[in-house]
């Protein structure tokens, strides 16, 4: 029975996770060493928090986040412009039979955690937490 993509509710296979992590490391290395010659990427420090693979390993969705959250769209566009050379470099670094097609997305995880922090630090939540502590004593 074929595995479905983890977005449909099932967990990714160990192979999908392993390949995704190898691609994440390769992509991080390319970005940190400045091997991609693009003015937008040269002026931004970009992190790669996660990579998700399709079940057939032919598509890698790479989630990126520029330091400070600035120029998100410009960074994704710059990576898209350099997609062909990035795919070639990743194929050389990650020994796969076929190099996966690359798709770049802005990572929403940082925004979500910032929203959660803001909610937890709001006066109303702190007031409610203070009441719970009063009842425990």
The domain that contains 98 carries what CATH number?
3.30.300.20
99 with 112, same domain?
A: no
The answer on 47 and 112 residing in a single domain is no
CA dihedral sign of residues 84, 87, 93, 97: negative
> Within this chain, do residues 52 and 112 fall inside the same structural domain, yes or no?
no
Q: Is residue 100 part of a domain?
A: yes
With residue 19 as reference, give the H or E element that holds it: helix 14-32
User: Distance (Å, rounded) from C-alpha 24 to C-alpha 14?
Assistant: 15
Give residue 80's pLDDT: 94
Considering the domain architecture, whether residues 112 and 102 belong to the same structural domain is answered as no
Beta bridge partners of 102: 60
Pair (36, 19) in one structural domain = yes
Cα dist. 61→24, 55, 68, 92, 132 in Å?
Answer: 10, 12, 22, 18, 43
**pLDDT tens per residue, range 73-130:** 999 999 999 999 999 999 999 988 888 999 999 887 766 767 777 777 778 777 777 6
> What's residue 110's pLDDT?
67
> 57 with 29, same domain?
yes
Paired tokens of 124: 């109303």
Whether 78 and 97 share a structural domain: yes
Q: How many domains does the chain have?
A: 2
Per the domain annotation, does 62 fall within a domain?
yes
Q: Is 85 a member of any domain?
A: yes
The answer to whether position 1 is within a domain reads no
Q: Give this prediction's pTM.
A: 0.74
Residue ranges making up the domain that contains 136? 108-137
61 and 101 belong to one structural domain? yes
Residue 133 pLDDT greater than 80, yes or no: no
């Amino acid at each position: 029975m074929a595995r479905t993509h983890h977005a449909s509710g099932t967990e990714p296979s160990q192979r999908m996770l392993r390949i995704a992590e190898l691609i994440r490391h390769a992509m991080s290395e390319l970005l940190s060493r400045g091997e991609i010659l693009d003015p937008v990427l040269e002026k931004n420090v970009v992190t790669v928090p996660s990579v998700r693979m399709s079940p057939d390993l032919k598509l890698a969705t790479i989630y990126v986040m520029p330091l400070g959250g600035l120029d998100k769209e410009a960074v994704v566009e710059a990576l898209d412009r350099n997609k062909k050379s990035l795919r070639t470099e990743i194929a050389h670094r990650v020994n796969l039979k076929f190099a996966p097609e690359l798709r770049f997305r802005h990572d929403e995880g940082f925004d979500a955690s910032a929203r959660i922090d803001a909610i937890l630090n709001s006066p109303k939540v702190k007031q409610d937490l203070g009441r719970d502590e009063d009842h425990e004593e």
